[in-house]
Amino acid sequence: MAEKGRRKTGQQKHSWAFQGLLSCGHCGCALVAEIKKKRYIYYHCTGNKGKCPEKWIREEEIARQFGEAISAIKMDDDVLGWVVAALKESHADEIKYHSELMVTLQGRYEKLQRRLDAMYDDKLDGKIDQEFYDRKSSAWEKEQDDIMRKIARHQGANRTYLDEGVKLLELAQRAVILYEKQKAQEKRRIINFVCSNSIWKDGCLVPNYRQPFDILVENNMAYKKEMAPFPKKKDHFEIWLPSTDSNRGPSG
């Protein structure tokens, strides 16, 4: 009995590389793994909702298609240079926008402070009663607090806009290189960082990219499509520039 218990304790649960990362596109059930012939790993739908038409698939094929999905976030070196240039150009506009907004917000804050100071003098002189003073000062002080939060938010956005954009691009390039070199278990970590709740249907992967990788893939594909008829042109990075309101909170 003790020997049997020891054998059971010594068993190790297999850690499947891609289990938990995919669901069936036909029925929504999870894809699970099994070993066949003591060496080949296959994934298949659990079929918990009934018989499913999805066929079994080798782990190597799932790894290959996830590799293609990860590669979609990578840009060619020349494209990467154009995108960084676009970020810098856009950052100049961001600096101008944030600077102008800061002046507006600070002006509004100082105007409210002058009102508060004047109203306090009026209260001391008996021109207004305590109830009126309390009501108006409470409203204006609340507005001042809102202004200070907006100032802090825009200061942070102004400082990190360019740095975060460049770091994201560098991270995307590194993820592709790492994926190609790693074993299945390490590939899982990269996939889980870039994608979430992806679908497998009719033998094909439908990746669900996490933010902001979804935007990176979308723009990368749009860029390649736009450049296809003009392979020698190098001035089509406008699509990488954020929209007028990108990364800008409400200014009111």
Which residues in 21-178 belong to E strands, given as ranges? 22-24, 31-36, 40-45, 57-58
With pLDDT > 90 as the criterion, what percentage of the chain qualifies?
Answer: 37
Please determine, for residue 3, whether its predicted confidence score (pLDDT) is greater than 60.
no
> What ranges do the domains of the chain cover?
77-181+213-240
The mean per-residue pLDDT over the stretch 51-79 comes to: 88
Q: pLDDT tens, 199-245? A: 999 999 999 998 878 877 887 777 777 766 655 555 544 544 444 44
More confident residue, 222 or 176: 176
Parallel, antiparallel, or unpaired for β 40-45 and 31-36?
Answer: antiparallel
Please determine, for residue 158, whether its predicted confidence score (pLDDT) is greater than 70.
no
The mean per-residue pLDDT over the stretch 108-117 comes to: 91
More confident residue, 234 or 73: 73
Please determine, for residue 2, whether its predicted confidence score (pLDDT) is greater than 90.
no
pLDDT of residue 90: 62
Q: Confidence class of residue 247 from pLDDT cuts 50, 70 and 90? A: very low
Sheet holding 198-201, edge to edge: 22-24, 198-201, 204-206
The mean per-residue pLDDT over the stretch 75-101 comes to: 67
Angle, CA of 188, 191 and 243, to the nearest 5° = 165
Q: Confidence class of residue 92 from pLDDT cuts 50, 70 and 90? A: low
The mean per-residue pLDDT over the stretch 119-136 comes to: 91
pLDDT of residue 249: 43
pLDDT of residue 230: 58
pLDDT of residue 72: 87
Residue 125: exposed, middle, or buried by beta-carbon count in 10 A (0-12, 13-18, 19+)? exposed
**Minimum mean pLDDT among 34-43, 99-108, 118-127, 239-248: which range?**
239-248
The mean per-residue pLDDT over the stretch 159-175 comes to: 69
Integer Cα distance of 88 and 244 in angstroms: 15
Angle, CA of 193, 218 and 156, to the nearest 5° = 65
pLDDT of residue 172: 78
